[in-house]
Structures are given as structure tokens and as C-alpha cells.
């Protein structure tokens, strides 16, 4: 279902949706451009690549004001109690990456996976491979690859590593994919299938601030990694892969100012052809972005004066030309969901927005969880929406982590 058809849904065409939809259709018709390097332009979404300044209120559908609030209760299909200090991270399979409390005094943490079917928590690496001065910094798990970053907090030297993964265990020795020092940010990365995608960016305060940033990919068994994209400045968001589409936010129009272009690339294409792009107003930096349901779901962490509606703090769902469904709450994580339903993290709960039914509800956090409540361990389109929350006892002391799995 396309975004516009899901927006109109079963309720027919309202005055607002008619105006917004007509504007979007006109913009799309006028915006057809060719994309360099694409062998099949019929599959490429027509875009102009021009910054989008939205000052027409009919282009913004405030879901919390214009959608109907419904009392829909989401029951967890699975729920487990995990040791205090456990953090969960995105996975595209039935194992979620996990960072856990240390098993010995030799390391401040360990990394492994949580089975989303049995609740088993498995340690895969208990000691950093780079030595005792290093700690585990970040971790992700695909259905066929396990990847992590190790860092020396004293020097800020870091290394990105990956190994084959299957059935809850590593299937190969770790491979060093990238490394850097204090002049380079630790890699922001994601995994899908047997492939790792990551960003190499100069530190904002280092000696390479004028250097370009790069997006790379590597698959288990590859002899070398491949460059996917070069940005003339720092990328704004983590790379995200959803339904065969990689979303990145490079700098664009670098000779004109500071512009970020939400960019969707087809990972099944050998040349990773661009299938869609949305350029934000000047100076507006996205906090999170993922391409799902033929639209960008993206979050703006701060409000930018003079940048139009797309410079307001909140989460948006749409593409160039509009319209945009808008959730006017401070964003805390990457949007996730399935079909026309989007789970958007607020302070202590999640809003579940249904753009087809034009409704919204909330997914409550566990009782006695910390103020920020559930945090999502899922991003983009997902069959299983995974959350975790640190829970306190009756005396207010944190005692454990509750992990839950939902079907949206």
C-alpha cells in the first residue's frame, strides 16, 4: 500500500487529505528527474532534490490532534526478565544483539544475543579482542553476522569487528572492518542478513574535520569492503536497512549551505541505485530516519526557527512534496512498525500511529520502570517489535530489565 492510499484509508477523501494529496500529486508529476547510474528508472521515485520548505498547514497532518484516539491494548507475545544492566539492540532475525553486565572483573561489559523465541541470553564475546585497555562500545546482530565496536576510552582508539553468526553462536573468527583514533568517530553501523553497513566520519573536533565521510558495506566471506556512498560532510543519522532499502542522511548541496538529504538506496542493486530522496530545509539536521512503506519516517530532535514545518521538533512520515503525518513529541528513537502502523517512542511510552485507519493509541511501559520507560530494540519494518525497560522494586531500587516482544 502506498503512503497516500494508506493516508486516505477507508474513511474516504477528507477536505484536508484532498488538498494535501492533490499538492503531492502535482509535485510528484512536476518532479520527475533521471537518476544517474539507474538501469531501471521506472522503479525510481521521482524527486527534484530541492530543499523542502513547508509553510502550507494543509501539508501537515498532526496525528495527535487529527487522528482518533482508540483504546487498543497490545499484549506482549513474549516477555522475559533479564539481568540488570542488559541493553538490547536491533536485529533483523530472531536474535537481538545484547550488551550485558560483565561476567568477570576483566571487562566492564560483555556482548551476546537474546533469543526472541526462547528468551535465552547467550554471551558471544566476554573479553574485547583488542586487549585489556579496550571495552565493548556498540553491537548489532543480523541473521548471519554479528558486529561490534571496541574502544579504548583513554585514547579514543576504536575498532569495528564482525564475525559470521548462526543459531546463537559465532561461525567464524572476528574480522577487523575499520579502525580509527580520536580524529574519527566510532562507526555508526547496522547489520542485515550477513552484511554490515557502517559510516566512517571525521570527529567534529578533530584534525580531519574537512575530510569527506563514507558509507561502507561488507558481507561475511568478502575479502574487502565496498564503498557505498561519499558525503562531503558528516552523515546525520545511523544507517538503517528496512525491506531491502538502505537509508542514510549525507550532506547535499554542499556548495550552497548545510543541507541533509534523506536518501534511500536499493541494496539488491549492484550499484545501490537511489530510489528516493528528501532534502530537508537549510540547517535542519535529522535525528533518525528510515525508509518504510514508500515513505521516509524521520525525526527532528530540535526546533529550527525559520525552517518551516519540517524544522519543528517531532517525527514525520512522508516524502518530497508531502503530505506529512506529524507526531509533535520529542523523539527518542528510530521509528518502527509494520504496514500502515508506526511505533514512535515518546518519553515513557510509544505512540502507535495507524495512517490507514487514521487512529492512534499508546503502548504502555511496564509498571515501576524508570522514567524513560520502554526503549525500542527495533527499527523500521519489523515482524517483532522488541522493547526493554529497567524496572524498580517497591522501594524504588532498579532490580532487573524486562524485555517484551509485540506484534503490531
pLDDT score at 8: 35
Q: How far is CA 78 from CA 81, 115, 119, 261, 272, in A?
A: 11, 11, 8, 38, 36
Which of left, alpha, beta for 288 (phi over 0: left; psi -120 to 50: alpha)?
A: beta
Q: How many CB atoms lie within 10 A of CB 205?
A: 8
350/273 Cα distance (integer angstroms): 33
pLDDT score at 45: 78
pLDDT score at 26: 33
pLDDT score at 311: 97
Written as one string, the DSSP assignment of 86-135 is: -EEE-BSSSEEEEEE--SSTT-S-EEEEEETTT--EEEEESS-TT-TT-E
Question: What are the grid coordinates assigned to 117, written together?
Answer: 523465541
**Residue 52 located in a structural domain:** no
Beta strands in 153-210 (DSSP E): 157-166, 169-170, 175-180, 188-192, 195-200
342/326 Cα distance (integer angstroms): 11
pLDDT score at 130: 95
**Residue 328 located in a structural domain:** no
pLDDT score at 105: 59
Q: Which residues contact 68 (CB under 8 A, 6 or more apart)?
A: 358, 359, 360
- What domain count does the chain have? 1
pLDDT score at 160: 98
pLDDT score at 67: 98
Instruction: Tell me whether strands 380-381 and 336-338 are parallel, antiparallel or unpaired.
Output: parallel
Q: How far is CA 64 from CA 5, 297, 315, 334, 354, in A?
A: 20, 16, 12, 19, 11
pLDDT score at 103: 67
pLDDT score at 72: 86
**Residue 223 located in a structural domain:** yes
Question: Within its chain, how far is the Cα of 152 from the centroid?
Answer: 26
pLDDT score at 108: 78
- 347-385 pLDDT, tens per residue? 878 999 999 999 999 998 988 887 778 999 999 999 899
Domain that holds residue 228: 80-232
pLDDT score at 140: 97
**Residue 316 located in a structural domain:** no
**Residue 203 located in a structural domain:** yes
The CATH number assigned to the domain holding 181 equals 2.130.10.120
State the greatest distance between any 2 C-alpha atoms of the chain, in Å, as a whole number.
Answer: 64
pLDDT score at 206: 85
Phi and psi for 74 in degrees, rounded to 5? -100, 120
**Residue 111 located in a structural domain:** yes
Spell out, as residue ranges, where the chain has pLDDT lower than 50: 1-42
**Residue 270 located in a structural domain:** no
**Residue 165 located in a structural domain:** yes
Amino acid at each position: 500500500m502506498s503512503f497516500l492510499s494508506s493516508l486516505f484509508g477507508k474513511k474516504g477523501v477528507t477536505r484536508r487529505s484532498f488538498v494535501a494529496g492533490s499538492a503531492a500529486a502535482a509535485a510528484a508529476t512536476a518532479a520527475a528527474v533521471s537518476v544517474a547510474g539507474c538501469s531501471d528508472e521506472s522503479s525510481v521515485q521521482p524527486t527534484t532534490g530541492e530543499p523542502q520548505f513547508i509553510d502550507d498547514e494543509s501539508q501537515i497532518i498532526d496525528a495527535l490532534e487529527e487522528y482518533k484516539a482508540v483504546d487498543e491494548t497490545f499484549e506482549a507475545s513474549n516477555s522475559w526478565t533479564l539481568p540488570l544492566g542488559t541493553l538490547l539492540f536491533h536485529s533483523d532475525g530472531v536474535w537481538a544483539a545484547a550488551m550485558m553486565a560483565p561476567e568477570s572483573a576483566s571487562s566492564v561489559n560483555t556482548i551476546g544475543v537474546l533469543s526472541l523465541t526462547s528468551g535465552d541470553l547467550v554471551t558471544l564475546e566476554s573479553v574485547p579482542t583488542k586487549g585489556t585497555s579496550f571495552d565493548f562500545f556498540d553491537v548489532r546482530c543480523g541473521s548471519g553476522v554479528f558486529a561490534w565496536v571496541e574502544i579504548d576510552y583513554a585514547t579514543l582508539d576504536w575498532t569495528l569487528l564482525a564475525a559470521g553468526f548462526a543459531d546463537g553462536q559465532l561461525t567464524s573468527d572476528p574480522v577487523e572492518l575499520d579502525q580509527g583514533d580520536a580524529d574519527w568517530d566510532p562507526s555508526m553501523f547496522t547489520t542485515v542478513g550477513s552484511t554490515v553497513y557502517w559510516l566512517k566520519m571525521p570527529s567534529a573536533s578533530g584534525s580531519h574535520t574537512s575530510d569527506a565521510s563514507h558509507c561502507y558495506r561488507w558481507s561475511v566471506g568478502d575479502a574487502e569492503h565496498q564503498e557505498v556512498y561519499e558525503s562531503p560532510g558528516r552523515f546525520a543519522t545511523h544507517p538503517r536497512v528496512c525491506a531491502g532499502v538502505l537509508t542514510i542522511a549525507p550532506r547535499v548541496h554542499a556548495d550552497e549551505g548545510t543541507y541533509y538529504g534523506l536518501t534511500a538506496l536499493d541494496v539488491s542493486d549492484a550499484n545501490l541505485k537511489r530510489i528516493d530522496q528528501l532534502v530537508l530545509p537549510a540547517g535542519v539536521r535529522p535525528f533518525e530516519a528510515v525508509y518504510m512503506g514508500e515513505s521516509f519516517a524521520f525525526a527532528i530532535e530540535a526546533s529550527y526557527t525559520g525552517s518551516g514545518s519540517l524544522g519543528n521538533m517531532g517525527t514525520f512520515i512522508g516524502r518530497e512534496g508531502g503530505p506529512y503525518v506529524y507526531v509533535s513529541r520529542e523523539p527518542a528513537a528510530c521509528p518502527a512498525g509494520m504496514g500502515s502502523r508506526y511505533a514512535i517512542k515518546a518519553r515513557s511510552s510509544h505512540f502507535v500511529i495507524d495512517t490507514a485507519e487514521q487512529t492512534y493509541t499508546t503502548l504502555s511501559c511496564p509498571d515501576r520502570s524508570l522514567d524513560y520507560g520502554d526503549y525500542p530494540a527495533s527499527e523500521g519494518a519489523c515482524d517483532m517489535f522488541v522493547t526493554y525497560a529497567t524496572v524498580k522494586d517497591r522501594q524504588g531500587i532498579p532490580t532487573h530489565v524486562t524485555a517484551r516482544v509485540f506484534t503490531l
